[in-house]
Amino acid sequence: MVQSSIGTLQRNKGRCLVTGVAGFIGSHLAERLIDEGYSVRGVDGFTDYYPREWKERNLVALKDAEGFEFVEQDLLTADLPALLSGVDFVFHLAAQAGVRSSWGRSFTTYTHNNILLTQQLLEAVKGLPIGKFVYASSSSIYGNVDVLPVTEDQTPSPISPYGVSKLAGEHLCNLYFTQFNVPTVSLRYFTVYGPRHRPDMAFHRFIRAILLEQPITVYGDGNQTRDFTFVSDVVQATVSAMRSPNAGKVYNISGGSSATVNEVITLLEQILGQKAKVEYVARQEGDVRDTFADSTRARRELGYAPKVDLAEGLRREANWLKEALEEMGLLNREGSRPSSSQPH
C-alpha cells in the first residue's frame, strides 16, 4: 500500500514514479521534482547492500513533503500496474550497485535487480501514455577504452558483471522503444558524488576515514582517473531528459572534473585540515583504469551544463558527512572522535 502523509495530492506538472527513491541519487531527484511542482510516488525495497539507517536519513526531507508518496516494496514482486496508475513519467534508478561485489554467485542478485526488474517495469509501462522512461545507466558499460574522452558512439565493452547488467538494461530500453514506442532515455552517469553518497563509495570512505583518523584503503596505485559528477548536476540532467522531446537516445552525463584518486585525497586533506593515512592494495577485478566523458550530445540536446566543480563538491560532501557522523555520535562537534565510539 502507498504510504503518504498528505494522501494523493495532484500537482500541476504531473506525477512521477521514482524507483530507488531512498538511494543517493533517487532521494535528491525526488526532492528536485517536488520543488518544481511535480508529485512523486517513490518506491524502494531497502535491499541490504548497505545499512538501512543511511537510506532512512535520505528520506527525512521527503517524508512530510507535499506531493510525495512512499511505497516500501520489492519491485520484483510489486503490483506494477497499481504503482504506475496515474503516472506521467518514470525514473528507473533502482538497481543492485557495486562493481567489486558483482562477481561469482552474487551475480544472481544483479540479474534479478538490474536486468529482470528493468524488463518487468518496461513490460508494465508498455502501452501506457507516459511521457518518458528515464533509465539510470553507468559509465561502467564502457570498460577500458583506448581513446578519451569517450563518446556515446564508442562500442561498450564492460569489464565487470555489474557493467554487463547495466548495459543489458540499456538494450532492453532500446528494445522497448523500437518495438513498442516506449519513450526511453538512458543516462550514463559518470562517478556521481555528493551529500548522501553511499557508504561503500570512495569519497564517503575517504572523508569518513580522515575524520575518524583511520586508514584509507586505495585499490591500485591511486593514479587511476575518474570523471567526477556532482549529484545536483546529475539531477539536472535527469530532469532535462524527462522534458526533452528526444527518445530512444543514450547520453553521457559527466562533470568534466577528471582527477586521479591521489589528487582527490590531497584535496580532501586540504578541505578537512587533516592528514590522510593511505594504504595501497592490489587493484580489484572490474575496476577500469580511467574514465573521461565527452558530454557534447547532452549539452546540445538536453542543455546540460555541469555547475559544481570537484573542490566545491568535495567540500559539500565533507560538510554533510561530518554532520552525519556527529549526529550518529561518532564525531564530536569539535571534529574529534569520541574515545568511546566505535565505527559503524
Rounded Cα–Cα distance for residues 202 and 191 (Å): 10
pLDDT at residue 195 in the model: 98
Q: What's the CA angle centered on 282, arms 49 and 51, to 5 degrees?
A: 15
Confidence of residue 333 (pLDDT cuts 50, 70, 90): low
C-alpha cell belonging to residue 135: 533509465
Rounded Cα–Cα distance for residues 11 and 68 (Å): 10
- 154 close to 142: Cβ distance less than 8 angstroms: yes
pLDDT at residue 5 in the model: 36
Q: How much is the pTM?
A: 0.93
Which amino acid, residue 79? D
pLDDT at residue 9 in the model: 45
- How many residues would you count in the chain? 344
Q: What is the mean pLDDT of the chain?
A: 93
Whether 162 is a known active-site residue: answer yes
pLDDT digits 0-9 by tens, 91-129: 999 999 989 889 998 999 999 999 999 999 999 999 999
Q: Are strands 225-230 and 257-260 parallel, antiparallel or unpaired?
A: antiparallel
Name the region of 67 (left: φ>0; alpha: ψ -120 to 50; beta: rest): left
Catalytic residue among 162, 176, 193, 251: 162
Convert 24-55 to b/e letters by CB count within 10 Å (16 or more is b): bbbbbbbbbbbeeebbbbbbbbebebbeeebb
- Range in 100-104, 164-168, 251-255 with the lowest mean pLDDT: 100-104
Name the region of 276 (left: φ>0; alpha: ψ -120 to 50; beta: rest): beta
pLDDT at residue 8 in the model: 42
CA 214 vs CA 211, 275, 302, 342: distances in Å: 8, 10, 42, 12
pLDDT at residue 1 in the model: 33
Instruction: Give the residue-averaged pLDDT of 46-59.
Output: 92
CA 195 vs CA 70, 84, 246, 316: distances in Å: 21, 29, 30, 7
- 226 close to 191: Cβ distance less than 8 angstroms: yes
pLDDT digits 0-9 by tens, 197-234: 999 999 999 999 999 999 999 999 999 999 999 999 99
Name the region of 4 (left: φ>0; alpha: ψ -120 to 50; beta: rest): beta
Rounded Cα–Cα distance for residues 93 and 90 (Å): 9
CATH number of 15-190+231-253: 3.40.50.720
* Selection from 185, 180, 163, 172 nearest residue 119 by Cα: 172
CA 203 vs CA 159, 193, 206, 259: distances in Å: 22, 7, 5, 13
